[in-house]
Amino acid sequence: MEPIRIDKVNLHIIDVTLKAPFTTSFGTMKSREVCIVEVIDQSGLSGWGESVTANEPDYNEETTYTAVHMLQKFLIPAILKKEISHPNEVFDMFHFVRRNHMAKAAIETAIWDVFAKKNEKPLHEILGGTKGKIEVGKSIGIQPTPAHLVDKVEQYIYEGFKKIKVKIAPGSDLPYIRAVREKFPDVPLMADANSAYTLRDIEHLKKLDEYNLIMIEQPLAHDDIIDHAKLQRNLKTPICLDESVYSYETAKKAIELGSGQVVNIKIGRVGGLREALRIHDLCQENNIPVWCGGMLETGVGRAHNIQITTLPNFTIPGDTAPSQHYWDEDIIDPEVTMNNGVIDIPKGFGIGYEVDRNKLNKKLVHSLSF
Ligand code: OSB
Ligand code: MG
Protein backbone atom coordinates (compact mmCIF):
# COMPACT_ATOMS: atom_id res chain seq x y z
CA MET A 1 0.00 0.00 0.00
CA GLU A 2 1.06 3.55 -0.71
CA PRO A 3 2.63 5.46 2.17
CA ILE A 4 1.44 8.94 3.00
CA ARG A 5 2.98 12.16 4.23
CA ILE A 6 0.85 14.81 5.92
CA ASP A 7 1.89 18.18 4.50
CA LYS A 8 -0.82 20.29 6.11
CA VAL A 9 -3.29 20.12 8.98
CA ASN A 10 -6.37 22.30 9.48
CA LEU A 11 -8.26 22.41 12.76
CA HIS A 12 -11.86 23.52 12.24
CA ILE A 13 -13.38 24.38 15.61
CA ILE A 14 -17.13 24.41 15.31
CA ASP A 15 -20.04 24.90 17.69
CA VAL A 16 -22.98 22.57 17.26
CA THR A 17 -26.27 22.59 19.17
CA LEU A 18 -28.04 19.34 19.92
CA LYS A 19 -31.68 19.06 18.88
CA ALA A 20 -32.48 18.22 22.49
CA PRO A 21 -30.35 18.42 25.65
CA PHE A 22 -28.82 15.08 26.68
CA THR A 23 -28.71 14.30 30.41
CA THR A 24 -26.42 11.75 32.01
CA SER A 25 -25.49 11.12 35.64
CA PHE A 26 -22.70 13.70 35.29
CA GLY A 27 -24.58 16.54 33.66
CA THR A 28 -26.62 17.90 30.77
CA MET A 29 -25.15 18.65 27.38
CA LYS A 30 -26.90 21.18 25.14
CA SER A 31 -24.18 21.87 22.62
CA ARG A 32 -20.65 20.83 21.83
CA GLU A 33 -17.65 22.70 20.63
CA VAL A 34 -15.98 20.22 18.35
CA CYS A 35 -12.55 20.18 16.81
CA ILE A 36 -12.72 18.69 13.34
CA VAL A 37 -9.24 17.70 12.14
CA GLU A 38 -8.42 17.82 8.44
CA VAL A 39 -5.11 16.31 7.35
CA ILE A 40 -3.91 16.93 3.80
CA ASP A 41 -1.47 14.47 2.24
CA GLN A 42 1.28 14.86 -0.36
CA SER A 43 -1.22 14.56 -3.21
CA GLY A 44 -3.72 17.09 -1.82
CA LEU A 45 -6.24 14.54 -0.51
CA SER A 46 -8.05 15.43 2.72
CA GLY A 47 -8.67 13.02 5.60
CA TRP A 48 -11.05 13.82 8.45
CA GLY A 49 -11.24 13.10 12.15
CA GLU A 50 -13.24 14.45 15.10
CA SER A 51 -12.23 15.17 18.65
CA VAL A 52 -15.10 13.53 20.53
CA THR A 53 -14.47 15.74 23.53
CA ALA A 54 -17.16 17.96 25.01
CA ASN A 55 -16.93 21.42 26.58
CA GLU A 56 -16.69 20.00 30.10
CA PRO A 57 -14.19 17.44 31.46
CA ASP A 58 -16.91 15.30 33.03
CA TYR A 59 -16.87 12.06 31.03
CA ASN A 60 -13.10 11.94 31.22
CA GLU A 61 -10.38 14.54 31.81
CA GLU A 62 -10.30 15.98 28.30
CA THR A 63 -12.18 18.90 26.77
CA THR A 64 -12.22 20.24 23.24
CA TYR A 65 -9.74 22.97 24.12
CA THR A 66 -7.32 20.61 25.88
CA ALA A 67 -7.45 18.57 22.68
CA VAL A 68 -6.75 21.64 20.53
CA HIS A 69 -3.81 22.47 22.78
CA MET A 70 -2.35 18.96 22.63
CA LEU A 71 -2.81 18.86 18.88
CA GLN A 72 -1.09 22.14 18.16
CA LYS A 73 1.68 21.84 20.69
CA PHE A 74 2.60 18.14 20.47
CA LEU A 75 0.61 15.88 18.19
CA ILE A 76 0.64 17.78 14.91
CA PRO A 77 4.41 18.47 15.09
CA ALA A 78 4.98 14.75 15.73
CA ILE A 79 3.46 13.67 12.41
CA LEU A 80 3.81 16.67 10.09
CA LYS A 81 5.95 15.97 7.00
CA LYS A 82 6.90 12.50 8.26
CA GLU A 83 6.57 9.50 5.99
CA ILE A 84 3.87 7.18 7.33
CA SER A 85 3.81 3.77 5.67
CA HIS A 86 0.70 2.66 7.53
CA PRO A 87 -1.65 4.47 9.98
CA ASN A 88 -0.90 1.68 12.48
CA GLU A 89 2.31 3.59 13.20
CA VAL A 90 0.67 6.79 14.39
CA PHE A 91 -0.33 5.60 17.86
CA ASP A 92 3.33 4.82 18.61
CA MET A 93 4.47 8.15 17.17
CA PHE A 94 2.39 9.68 19.99
CA HIS A 95 3.93 7.46 22.65
CA PHE A 96 5.80 10.41 24.17
CA VAL A 97 2.46 12.01 25.15
CA ARG A 98 0.69 10.42 28.11
CA ARG A 99 -3.07 9.84 27.68
CA ASN A 100 -4.97 12.66 25.94
CA HIS A 101 -6.57 9.85 23.98
CA MET A 102 -9.35 11.88 22.39
CA ALA A 103 -6.87 14.43 21.07
CA LYS A 104 -4.72 11.61 19.64
CA ALA A 105 -7.69 9.84 18.10
CA ALA A 106 -8.91 13.04 16.42
CA ILE A 107 -5.83 13.18 14.22
CA GLU A 108 -5.06 9.45 14.07
CA THR A 109 -8.51 8.73 12.62
CA ALA A 110 -8.03 11.51 10.05
CA ILE A 111 -4.79 9.83 8.97
CA TRP A 112 -6.59 6.48 8.55
CA ASP A 113 -9.15 8.24 6.36
CA VAL A 114 -6.59 9.86 4.09
CA PHE A 115 -4.57 6.63 3.90
CA ALA A 116 -7.66 4.71 2.78
CA LYS A 117 -8.47 7.43 0.22
CA LYS A 118 -4.90 7.46 -1.09
CA ASN A 119 -5.13 3.69 -1.53
CA GLU A 120 -8.63 3.95 -3.04
CA LYS A 121 -10.34 1.75 -0.49
CA PRO A 122 -13.22 2.14 1.94
CA LEU A 123 -11.85 2.47 5.46
CA HIS A 124 -13.68 -0.66 6.66
CA GLU A 125 -11.73 -2.72 4.14
CA ILE A 126 -8.42 -1.46 5.55
CA LEU A 127 -9.65 -2.11 9.09
CA GLY A 128 -10.65 -5.69 8.27
CA GLY A 129 -14.42 -5.16 8.49
CA THR A 130 -16.65 -7.97 7.29
CA LYS A 131 -20.18 -6.55 7.42
CA GLY A 132 -22.11 -4.63 4.77
CA LYS A 133 -24.78 -3.49 7.23
CA ILE A 134 -24.76 -2.73 10.94
CA GLU A 135 -27.49 -2.71 13.56
CA VAL A 136 -28.14 0.40 15.59
CA GLY A 137 -29.37 1.10 19.11
CA LYS A 138 -30.56 4.30 20.74
CA SER A 139 -29.08 5.88 23.86
CA ILE A 140 -31.68 7.88 25.78
CA GLY A 141 -30.72 10.56 28.31
CA ILE A 142 -32.32 10.82 31.76
CA GLN A 143 -35.95 11.97 31.37
CA PRO A 144 -38.05 14.09 33.76
CA THR A 145 -40.31 11.14 34.63
CA PRO A 146 -40.60 7.41 33.86
CA ALA A 147 -43.65 8.20 31.70
CA HIS A 148 -41.56 10.52 29.50
CA LEU A 149 -39.02 7.73 29.12
CA VAL A 150 -41.66 5.17 28.15
CA ASP A 151 -42.93 7.53 25.42
CA LYS A 152 -39.43 7.90 24.01
CA VAL A 153 -38.78 4.18 24.09
CA GLU A 154 -42.04 3.56 22.26
CA GLN A 155 -41.06 6.01 19.54
CA TYR A 156 -37.59 4.49 19.11
CA ILE A 157 -38.89 0.93 18.98
CA TYR A 158 -41.32 2.12 16.30
CA GLU A 159 -38.39 3.62 14.34
CA GLY A 160 -36.73 0.20 14.41
CA PHE A 161 -33.83 0.61 16.82
CA LYS A 162 -32.41 -2.78 17.76
CA LYS A 163 -31.37 -1.92 21.31
CA ILE A 164 -32.55 0.63 23.86
CA LYS A 165 -30.06 2.13 26.31
CA VAL A 166 -31.37 4.15 29.22
CA LYS A 167 -29.18 6.48 31.24
CA ILE A 168 -29.57 6.00 34.98
CA ALA A 169 -28.35 7.69 38.16
CA PRO A 170 -29.21 7.36 41.86
CA GLY A 171 -32.78 8.65 42.17
CA SER A 172 -33.51 8.02 38.47
CA ASP A 173 -33.09 4.31 38.13
CA LEU A 174 -35.45 1.53 39.29
CA PRO A 175 -38.80 3.23 38.56
CA TYR A 176 -37.57 4.17 35.08
CA ILE A 177 -36.33 0.69 34.21
CA ARG A 178 -39.43 -0.91 35.74
CA ALA A 179 -41.75 1.32 33.70
CA VAL A 180 -39.99 0.46 30.44
CA ARG A 181 -39.94 -3.27 31.21
CA GLU A 182 -43.60 -3.37 32.14
CA LYS A 183 -44.60 -1.86 28.83
CA PHE A 184 -41.95 -3.60 26.68
CA PRO A 185 -41.15 -6.99 28.24
CA ASP A 186 -38.99 -8.19 25.35
CA VAL A 187 -37.11 -5.16 24.04
CA PRO A 188 -33.31 -5.53 24.23
CA LEU A 189 -32.75 -3.08 27.08
CA MET A 190 -29.70 -1.88 28.97
CA ALA A 191 -28.79 0.84 31.45
CA ASP A 192 -25.75 3.18 31.53
CA ALA A 193 -24.81 4.74 34.89
CA ASN A 194 -21.69 6.67 33.83
CA SER A 195 -19.89 5.91 37.11
CA ALA A 196 -22.71 7.12 39.39
CA TYR A 197 -22.60 4.34 42.01
CA THR A 198 -20.17 2.81 44.48
CA LEU A 199 -19.90 -0.63 46.07
CA ARG A 200 -22.06 0.67 48.92
CA ASP A 201 -24.94 0.52 46.42
CA ILE A 202 -24.52 -3.20 45.82
CA GLU A 203 -27.89 -4.24 47.29
CA HIS A 204 -29.61 -1.50 45.33
CA LEU A 205 -27.91 -2.48 42.06
CA LYS A 206 -28.87 -6.14 42.60
CA LYS A 207 -32.51 -5.08 42.24
CA LEU A 208 -31.78 -4.40 38.56
CA ASP A 209 -31.31 -8.15 38.06
CA GLU A 210 -35.10 -8.52 37.97
CA TYR A 211 -35.44 -6.61 34.73
CA ASN A 212 -33.56 -8.88 32.36
CA LEU A 213 -31.21 -6.15 31.16
CA ILE A 214 -28.73 -7.19 28.49
CA MET A 215 -26.09 -5.32 30.49
CA ILE A 216 -25.39 -2.46 32.88
CA GLU A 217 -22.73 -0.06 31.63
CA GLN A 218 -20.08 1.49 33.89
CA PRO A 219 -21.93 1.43 37.22
CA LEU A 220 -18.84 2.27 39.30
CA ALA A 221 -15.96 4.74 39.22
CA HIS A 222 -14.60 5.97 35.89
CA ASP A 223 -11.15 4.55 36.62
CA ASP A 224 -12.11 1.36 38.45
CA ILE A 225 -11.76 -2.27 37.43
CA ILE A 226 -11.38 -3.87 40.89
CA ASP A 227 -14.74 -2.91 42.43
CA HIS A 228 -16.46 -3.74 39.14
CA ALA A 229 -15.10 -7.30 39.49
CA LYS A 230 -16.55 -7.53 43.00
CA LEU A 231 -19.87 -6.17 41.81
CA GLN A 232 -19.97 -8.55 38.84
CA ARG A 233 -19.60 -11.51 41.21
CA ASN A 234 -22.77 -10.31 42.95
CA LEU A 235 -24.84 -9.45 39.89
CA LYS A 236 -26.56 -11.66 37.33
CA THR A 237 -26.74 -8.77 34.87
CA PRO A 238 -23.56 -8.58 32.77
CA ILE A 239 -21.44 -5.48 33.41
CA CYS A 240 -20.22 -3.55 30.36
CA LEU A 241 -17.19 -1.31 30.77
CA ASP A 242 -16.95 2.08 29.11
CA GLU A 243 -14.94 4.82 30.91
CA SER A 244 -12.48 2.53 32.70
CA VAL A 245 -11.31 0.65 29.59
CA TYR A 246 -9.22 3.44 28.11
CA SER A 247 -6.45 1.27 26.62
CA TYR A 248 -5.54 -2.24 25.50
CA GLU A 249 -3.75 -2.76 28.82
CA THR A 250 -6.79 -1.81 30.92
CA ALA A 251 -8.96 -4.04 28.73
CA LYS A 252 -6.58 -6.95 29.33
CA LYS A 253 -6.55 -6.42 33.09
CA ALA A 254 -10.30 -5.98 33.27
CA ILE A 255 -10.81 -9.26 31.42
CA GLU A 256 -8.33 -11.03 33.72
CA LEU A 257 -10.07 -9.70 36.82
CA GLY A 258 -13.57 -10.42 35.53
CA SER A 259 -14.59 -6.77 35.85
CA GLY A 260 -17.24 -7.18 33.18
CA GLN A 261 -18.53 -9.37 30.38
CA VAL A 262 -18.97 -6.80 27.60
CA VAL A 263 -16.86 -3.87 26.37
CA ASN A 264 -18.11 -0.62 24.86
CA ILE A 265 -15.42 0.46 22.39
CA LYS A 266 -15.10 4.18 21.75
CA ILE A 267 -12.35 5.12 19.33
CA GLY A 268 -11.71 8.44 21.09
CA ARG A 269 -11.54 7.03 24.61
CA VAL A 270 -8.77 4.59 23.67
CA GLY A 271 -6.61 6.89 21.53
CA GLY A 272 -7.59 5.92 18.02
CA LEU A 273 -8.45 3.16 15.59
CA ARG A 274 -5.32 1.11 16.09
CA GLU A 275 -5.90 0.73 19.81
CA ALA A 276 -9.62 0.13 19.21
CA LEU A 277 -8.74 -2.70 16.80
CA ARG A 278 -6.37 -4.27 19.32
CA ILE A 279 -9.08 -4.17 22.00
CA HIS A 280 -11.57 -5.64 19.53
CA ASP A 281 -9.25 -8.57 18.80
CA LEU A 282 -8.38 -9.12 22.46
CA CYS A 283 -12.06 -9.23 23.40
CA GLN A 284 -12.80 -11.59 20.54
CA GLU A 285 -10.07 -14.00 21.72
CA ASN A 286 -11.63 -13.90 25.19
CA ASN A 287 -15.26 -14.34 24.07
CA ILE A 288 -16.15 -10.84 25.21
CA PRO A 289 -18.62 -9.24 22.79
CA VAL A 290 -18.12 -5.55 21.99
CA TRP A 291 -20.25 -2.73 20.64
CA CYS A 292 -19.49 0.78 19.48
CA GLY A 293 -20.41 3.57 21.88
CA GLY A 294 -21.01 7.18 20.97
CA MET A 295 -20.08 10.64 22.24
CA LEU A 296 -22.85 12.57 20.46
CA GLU A 297 -20.57 12.90 17.46
CA THR A 298 -21.07 14.95 14.35
CA GLY A 299 -21.01 13.08 11.06
CA VAL A 300 -17.23 12.82 11.00
CA GLY A 301 -16.88 10.89 14.24
CA ARG A 302 -20.06 8.99 13.46
CA ALA A 303 -18.63 7.87 10.10
CA HIS A 304 -15.57 6.41 11.84
CA ASN A 305 -17.83 4.63 14.34
CA ILE A 306 -19.82 3.12 11.49
CA GLN A 307 -16.66 1.94 9.73
CA ILE A 308 -15.23 0.15 12.78
CA THR A 309 -18.57 -1.48 13.64
CA THR A 310 -18.15 -3.66 10.51
CA LEU A 311 -15.61 -5.78 12.42
CA PRO A 312 -16.88 -9.23 13.36
CA ASN A 313 -16.83 -9.00 17.18
CA PHE A 314 -19.14 -5.95 17.14
CA THR A 315 -22.06 -8.27 17.74
CA ILE A 316 -24.27 -5.94 19.81
CA PRO A 317 -25.98 -2.88 18.25
CA GLY A 318 -24.01 0.34 18.85
CA ASP A 319 -25.00 3.89 19.87
CA THR A 320 -24.56 5.16 16.29
CA ALA A 321 -28.01 6.62 15.66
CA PRO A 322 -28.70 8.61 12.46
CA SER A 323 -27.59 12.26 12.14
CA GLN A 324 -31.15 13.54 12.43
CA HIS A 325 -31.38 12.26 15.98
CA TYR A 326 -28.73 14.73 17.07
CA TRP A 327 -28.55 17.67 14.65
CA ASP A 328 -30.88 19.78 12.56
CA GLU A 329 -28.13 19.69 9.98
CA ASP A 330 -25.04 17.48 10.06
CA ILE A 331 -21.72 18.45 8.45
CA ILE A 332 -21.49 15.43 6.17
CA ASP A 333 -23.09 14.54 2.88
CA PRO A 334 -25.04 12.34 2.77
CA GLU A 335 -26.12 12.40 6.41
CA VAL A 336 -26.17 9.10 8.28
CA THR A 337 -29.56 7.48 7.78
CA MET A 338 -31.03 4.26 9.07
CA ASN A 339 -33.59 1.88 7.69
CA ASN A 340 -35.53 -0.01 10.34
CA GLY A 341 -32.54 -0.03 12.71
CA VAL A 342 -29.96 -0.86 10.06
CA ILE A 343 -27.28 1.35 8.50
CA ASP A 344 -25.89 0.33 5.12
CA ILE A 345 -22.12 0.72 5.09
CA PRO A 346 -21.16 3.34 2.47
CA LYS A 347 -19.02 2.07 -0.39
CA GLY A 348 -16.99 5.26 -0.94
CA PHE A 349 -13.27 5.50 -0.17
CA GLY A 350 -12.13 6.42 3.35
CA ILE A 351 -14.91 7.19 5.82
CA GLY A 352 -17.46 6.99 3.00
CA TYR A 353 -19.18 10.33 3.66
CA GLU A 354 -18.07 13.73 2.33
CA VAL A 355 -17.57 16.69 4.64
CA ASP A 356 -19.78 19.55 3.43
CA ARG A 357 -17.54 22.61 3.74
CA ASN A 358 -20.46 25.05 3.56
CA LYS A 359 -22.19 23.40 6.46
CA LEU A 360 -18.90 23.19 8.36
CA ASN A 361 -18.17 26.87 7.81
CA LYS A 362 -21.63 27.92 8.97
CA LYS A 363 -20.79 26.47 12.39
CA LEU A 364 -17.18 27.63 12.49
CA VAL A 365 -15.87 29.36 15.63
CA HIS A 366 -12.28 29.54 14.46
CA SER A 367 -9.72 27.63 12.47
CA LEU A 368 -6.00 27.01 12.70
CA SER A 369 -3.60 25.77 10.02
CA PHE A 370 -0.25 24.06 10.35
O1 OSB B 1 -21.44 7.00 28.31
O2 OSB B 1 -21.94 6.30 26.39
C3 OSB B 1 -21.79 7.24 27.17
C4 OSB B 1 -22.86 10.52 25.52
C5 OSB B 1 -21.92 11.39 26.06
C6 OSB B 1 -21.02 10.90 26.96
C7 OSB B 1 -21.01 9.56 27.32
C8 OSB B 1 -21.92 8.68 26.77
C9 OSB B 1 -22.88 9.18 25.88
C10 OSB B 1 -23.94 8.37 25.28
C11 OSB B 1 -24.51 8.87 23.99
O12 OSB B 1 -24.43 7.39 25.80
C13 OSB B 1 -24.33 7.94 22.87
C14 OSB B 1 -24.62 8.63 21.56
O15 OSB B 1 -25.77 8.61 21.14
O16 OSB B 1 -23.68 9.19 20.95
MG1 MG C 1 -21.27 4.94 28.59
Tens of pLDDT, residue by residue over 209-259, are 999 999 999 999 999 999 999 999 999 999 999 999 999 999 999 999 999
For ligand 1, atom 7, name the residue with the nearest CA. 295
Which atom of ligand 1 sits closest to the CA of residue 264?
A: 2
Task: Write out pLDDT tens, residues 268-281.
Answer: 999 999 999 999 99
Bridge-based pairing of strands 46-50 and 27-41 is antiparallel
- pTM exceeds 0.85 for this model: yes
Cα(11)–Cα(2) distance, rounded to whole angstroms? 25
For ligand 1, atom 13, name the residue with the nearest CA. 294
Q: How confident is the model at residue 36 (pLDDT cuts 50, 70, 90)?
A: very high
Task: Write out pLDDT tens, residues 100-139.
Answer: 999 999 999 999 999 999 999 999 999 999 999 999 999 9
> CB within 8 A of 199, min separation 6: which ones?
220, 227, 230, 231
Q: Which of 118, 167, 359, 363 is catalytic?
A: 167
Coil, helix or strand at residue 330: coil
Cα(55)–Cα(64) distance, rounded to whole angstroms? 6
Task: Write out pLDDT tens, residues 303-347.
Answer: 999 999 999 999 999 999 999 999 999 999 999 999 999 999 999
Q: Which of 140, 267, 290, 295 to mutate to test the pocket of ligand 1 (most atoms within 8 A of CB)?
A: 295
**What percentage of the chain reaches a pLDDT higher than 70?**
100
Active site residue 152: no
User: Which residues does a 6 A CB cutoff place in the pocket of ligand 1?
Assistant: 24, 59, 139, 192, 194, 242, 293-296, 319, 321
Active site residue 363: no
Would residue 273 be called left, alpha or beta, if left means φ above 0 and alpha means ψ between -120 and 50 degrees? alpha
Closest-approaching ligand to the CA atom of 295: 1
**pLDDT confidence of residue 96:** 98
